[in-house]
Structure 1
Amino acid sequence: MTEQHDQASWHLETSLVHAGDRTAPPVATPTVTPIYTSTTYLYPTLDELDAAFVSGEGYFYTRYGNPTVAAFEQALAQAEAARGAVAYSSGMAALHAALLAASTPRGETAPRPTSILAARDLYGSTTVLLEELFAARGAQVNYVDLCDAEATAAALQAYAPVVVLAESISNPLLHVLDLAKLVEQCRSYGARLVIDATLATPVLQRPLTLGVDLVVHSATKYLGGHGDAAGGIVAARTGLLHVTLVQQSRLLGATLGPYEAQQLQRGMKTLALRMERQCANAAQVAAYLTTHPAVAHVYYPGLAEHPGHTLAAAAFGGRFGGLVSFELAASTALPRFVDALRLFLPATTLGDLYSLVSVPALASHRELTPEQRAERGISAGLVRLSLGIEAIDDLLADLQQALACLEAA
């Protein structure tokens, strides 16, 4: 490029457009990955641009790759021990991409109608995605309790699915999967296993090391952790699945922006520290709630009475996640309880460094029918708490005063 040599002869209008751009990068390496906002990238000659397209290396157009986004993908791939990862503009976009890649015939890149066996207790929007974007277009979608090994084996034999989809810790009832057993079952029937690991994060479990094929994260949640950036990411166990994700991502175009990528990668730097505090806070909140007369039932894998406690203790290294769900004894008291909280924020998300409260029937599972919610065990009185990193004494005091309002009413 010869702009520098020609700049002296440029008119003012031309200088205002081009001056300062396309300067050489610094010789020193920046400590933090810069935010690359350019949508396109230049090569010295047309032949070099053509060679870059042929090799597939380098950057051309932001839908085909961005250095800031690539840094986030590399960070997650390393955290998950993956062959590669691909980032998307939201967690739902990432889940959609994972299902398409998993249902793509091995060695090919075009998605095809397929059969999916899904966990019965999925996040509400995931169920809607399966019904409206897969089943409605000819895919066979069936549901089963994947925590039940016998029922899973029977469903695998009956439906012969191409893809099995589940959450490592379910939202919001916090069922825990035996991933090692499920991997063994899926392999015996030739099904690819896709796991949404948003709630566990790689801090608690790395599913690819157990043989899971694709791991999905809503990066908006724990990975980012600050409530300021939306995104999703899929990590692949094999090179074939990673290539499939890359190729399909370029066509689908649900690209993560560089600003969001930088914020999500920055959030990952403190993920382990945040999860330690969030898990510790959740354990103490769950223990407190079990003692309160206004609470009918508490769902938390860290409690000895939880059906997945022993499995979770072995799988997660003695930590049990940052979510606690519980049933109020009187469901009609739920609005008073939520409105009385002062420190827990009523937000329809989870995984932030702030503590949050949500009502699944009105938020995460609102799109399901009352019958579907009942089938999944989601009652009108179910409350979900996402623990943040605040001092535990302040969190317990907030819960205590909100529950006291119910006793006084």
Structure 2
Amino acid sequence: MQSPSPSRGPRKLDIATRVVHTGERPARPDFVPVTTPIYPSASFVYEDLDVMDQALGGAEDAFVYTRYGNPTTRALEVAVADLEGTETAFAFASGMGALHAAIMTSIAPGDAIVASRDLYGATYAMLNGQLREWGCRVEFVDMLDLEAVGAAIERLRPALVVCEVISNPLLRVTDVPAVVEMAHRVGATVMVDATFCPTLYAPAADGADLVIHSLTKYIGGHGDVTGGIVATSKERRERLATFARTTGATIGPFEAWLALRGLKTLPLRMERHCANAAAIASALVEHPLVAHVNYPGLTSHPSHATARRLFGERGYGGMISFEIKDGGREQVFAFLSALELIVPATSLGDVYSLALYPAMSSHRALTPEERAAYGIGDGLVRISVGIEAPEDILADLDQALRAAAGTSR
């Protein structure tokens, strides 16, 4: 449907009409753009109303209204599905939006859910609060204790099992294949958050039903987009799409385009994130002002063997956490304030190195007792290692640790 001609009809259109319509809705081009365009249109029209009727009825890759679907967003979904090895994917306005939709389309009121006890704080809060209020029986278990996981699954016969490949902030690695096998034995759906390990491990290859990514993190990679995505089957995508349409949780085309752009350099960035993190974790183990380092690439980490089996030679991720020696809230605040290169911000996966205090941010929703039970001490700091020169990151960590300890270099 082309824009009206300025002289169309019995008289020339008024300027107020022409400035609105002239140049809009051009004929389909016979060229192909090198990069996916941003389609900011809220709605789409068709010359053939029968085709529009089919589009409104949900025909695949037919677009009528951006809350229902958008060409830019669809390009992102196709790319992430290919990354994760799933049939399809559906994008949301945030990572938590993707998590919420994946959970709510997999359960019914009163169902049982078995979940990892050290999930991302907001995920834990949603399961422990909203889902319990909805009548669900939620049991949190140590995902590294496969015997306890199996016992909970056999006893509760859950509709859903929720875990992360790499936990936040202790970086414990779940044996996803083992959990999937136990869950599927009782007919449970398995949802795996793989935000920390894109390109390193694809949970769907081992049977995960729903794979979640916060697009805000490594896939976007530049700290300039908020979004989430669920990689899954076509059948489950239909449920997710219906949920998104009725809740308005779909991502916008500008955000989808930024995430798609970030995806193109993801493998290169992940190589650098992993290499930098491995070097920095090894150095921090020897630092006199660091009590303990959590990094699955260290042979001392309780999940090292599992991580090596799942990730192979691809690396162990770009996340590190460590305990400041004799540290508490005061020392952590002094450390964060002294940082000069590393940015104290509540995110991860950016090209910049970022530092976060879990007790204040990601796990603020947990009580001090809950954090202590899960091993999240008051002196724990999490670092999202960026792609800067590793010697510069180490130098900044060293001077900030010394500043926090009240000593000079």
Alignment TM-score, normalising by the size of structure 1: 0.95
2:40 to 30, 37, 40: 37
Q: Residues 131-153 of structure 1: CA distance to partner in whole angstroms, max 9, x if unpaired?
A: 22211111111110111110011
Instruction: Give the deviation of 1:407 after TM superposition.
Output: 5.5
Aligned counterpart, 1:98: 102
Indicate yes or no: 2:311 matched with 1:316.
yes
In structure 1, distance between residues paired with 2:114 and 2:194 = 17
Instruction: Give the deviation of 1:55 after TM superposition.
Output: 5.8
Structure 2 counterpart of 1:76, one-letter code? V
Within-5 A mapping of 1:163-312:
163-201=160-198, 203-236=199-232, 238-312=233-307
Instruction: Give the deviation of 1:259 after TM superposition.
Output: 0.4
Aligned counterpart, 1:89: 93
Instruction: Give the deviation of 1:338 after TM superposition.
Output: 1.6
* Alignment gaps of 5+ in structure 1: 104-110
Structure 2 counterpart of 1:148, one-letter code? D
Structure 2 counterpart of 1:115, one-letter code? A
Specify the SS of the correspondent of 2:343.
coil
In structure 1, distance between residues paired with 2:214 and 2:364 = 19
Aligned counterpart, 1:357: 355
CA change 1:244–1:397 in 2 (3 A) is: same
Aligned counterpart, 2:124: 127
Specify the SS of the correspondent of 1:204.
coil
Specify the SS of the correspondent of 1:338.
helix
Aligned counterpart, 1:26: 29
In structure 1, distance between residues paired with 2:309 and 2:3 = 62
Instruction: Give the deviation of 1:2 after TM superposition.
Output: 6.5
The structure that is helix-richer by fraction is 1
Q: Residues 328-348 of structure 1: CA distance to partner in whole angstroms, max 9, x if unpaired?
A: 112142222221111110001
Is contact 1:164–1:193 with CA below 8 Å preserved after alignment?
A: yes
Aligned counterpart, 1:372: 370
Is contact 2:3–2:24 with CA below 8 Å preserved after alignment?
A: no
Is contact 1:83–1:242 with CA below 8 Å preserved after alignment?
A: no
Instruction: Give the deviation of 1:100 after TM superposition.
Output: 1.6
Is contact 2:3–2:22 with CA below 8 Å preserved after alignment?
A: no
Instruction: Give the deviation of 1:360 after TM superposition.
Output: 0.2
Specify the SS of the correspondent of 2:158.
coil
Specify the SS of the correspondent of 1:64.
coil
Instruction: Give the deviation of 1:310 after TM superposition.
Output: 1.3
Instruction: Give the deviation of 1:3 after TM superposition.
Output: 4.5
Instruction: Give the deviation of 1:245 after TM superposition.
Output: 1.5
Is contact 2:167–2:173 with CA below 8 Å preserved after alignment?
A: yes
Indicate yes or no: 2:65 matched with 1:67.
no
Is contact 2:3–2:25 with CA below 8 Å preserved after alignment?
A: no
Is contact 2:2–2:25 with CA below 8 Å preserved after alignment?
A: no
Instruction: Give the deviation of 1:89 after TM superposition.
Output: 0.3
Instruction: Give the deviation of 1:45 after TM superposition.
Output: 3.9
Aligned counterpart, 1:107: none
Instruction: Give the deviation of 1:257 after TM superposition.
Output: 0.4
Indicate yes or no: 2:14 matched with 1:11.
yes
Aligned counterpart, 1:139: 136
Aligned counterpart, 1:149: 146
Structure 1 counterpart of 2:218, one-letter code? Y
Aligned counterpart, 1:108: none
Structure 2 counterpart of 1:176, one-letter code? V
Is contact 2:109–2:134 with CA below 8 Å preserved after alignment?
A: no
% identity of equivalent residues: 47
Specify the SS of the correspondent of 2:169.
coil
Instruction: Give the deviation of 1:5 after TM superposition.
Output: 4.6
In structure 1, distance between residues paired with 2:189 and 2:216 = 25
CA change 1:191–1:4 in 2 (3 A) is: same
* Alignment gaps of 5+ in structure 2: none
In structure 2, distance between residues paired with 1:317 and 1:356 = 26
Q: Residues 157-180 of structure 1: CA distance to partner in whole angstroms, max 9, x if unpaired?
A: 221111000110000000001111
Moved more, 24-33 or 220-229: 24-33
Structure 2 counterpart of 1:146, one-letter code? M
In structure 1, distance between residues paired with 2:17 and 2:292 = 69
Structure 2 counterpart of 1:227, one-letter code? G
In structure 1, distance between residues paired with 2:263 and 2:58 = 31
Alignment TM-score, normalising by the size of structure 2: 0.95
Aligned counterpart, 1:106: none
CA change 1:56–1:113 in 2 (3 A) is: farther
Structure 1 counterpart of 2:32, one-letter code? T
In structure 1, distance between residues paired with 2:15 and 2:88 = 46
In structure 2, distance between residues paired with 1:274 and 1:152 = 34
Instruction: Give the deviation of 1:53 after TM superposition.
Output: 2.8
In structure 1, distance between residues paired with 2:16 and 2:6 = 14
Aligned counterpart, 1:48: 51
RMSD: 1.4
In structure 1, distance between residues paired with 2:2 and 2:348 = 51
Indicate yes or no: 2:323 matched with 1:327.
yes
Is contact 2:115–2:163 with CA below 8 Å preserved after alignment?
A: yes
Is contact 1:7–1:15 with CA below 8 Å preserved after alignment?
A: no
Aligned counterpart, 1:160: 157
Specify the SS of the correspondent of 1:331.
coil
In structure 2, distance between residues paired with 1:3 and 1:36 = 17
CA change 1:7–1:234 in 2 (3 A) is: farther
Specify the SS of the correspondent of 1:314.
helix
Instruction: Give the deviation of 1:7 after TM superposition.
Output: 4.0
